[in-house]
Amino acid sequence: QVQLVESGGGLVQPGGSLRLSCTASGFTLANYAIVWFRQAPGKEREGVGCISSADGATYYAESVEGRFTISRDNAKNTVYLQMNSLKPEDTAVYYCATDDARPTCSGQYYYTFEYYYWGQGTQVTVSS
């Protein structure tokens, strides 16, 4: 069955780094776009970034561009979210998502689409 599992969250100090992983089972991750979302308490879920299949093009929210990087390791069926220069406002539960009908991110519109498959989320807390 199709499943996504996030890992790598934790507590870090401002300015620190974390690498989140999104590992897929039941399908070949390389064939699909993978989207990272995050949601903080009391706030709406927001798109963080997306990586497309094939060319691996990436897109990021303005709030994280230059600090976060999404990459693929197709041999491990895993997508990573490398987060550097973390800020307290990055604190949230981070989710990865995908959909059978979405091989690409559709540019900066990735966050506007529905995604059928979601991971359980991993908590990232940035605090002194």
The residues facing 22 across adjacent strands are: 6, 79
Q: Output the pLDDT for position 54.
A: 85
Q: Output the pLDDT for position 4.
A: 96
Q: What confidence tens digit (pLDDT) does each residue in 60-85 have?
A: 999 999 999 999 999 999 999 999 99
User: What residue type is 123 in one-letter code?
Assistant: Q
Confidence of residue 109 (pLDDT cuts 50, 70, 90): confident
User: What residue type is 99 in one-letter code?
Assistant: D
Q: Output the pLDDT for position 34.
A: 96
Q: Output the pLDDT for position 52.
A: 94
Inform me whether the pLDDT recorded for 110 exceeds 90.
no
Q: How far apart are CA 37 and CA 111, in angstroms?
A: 8
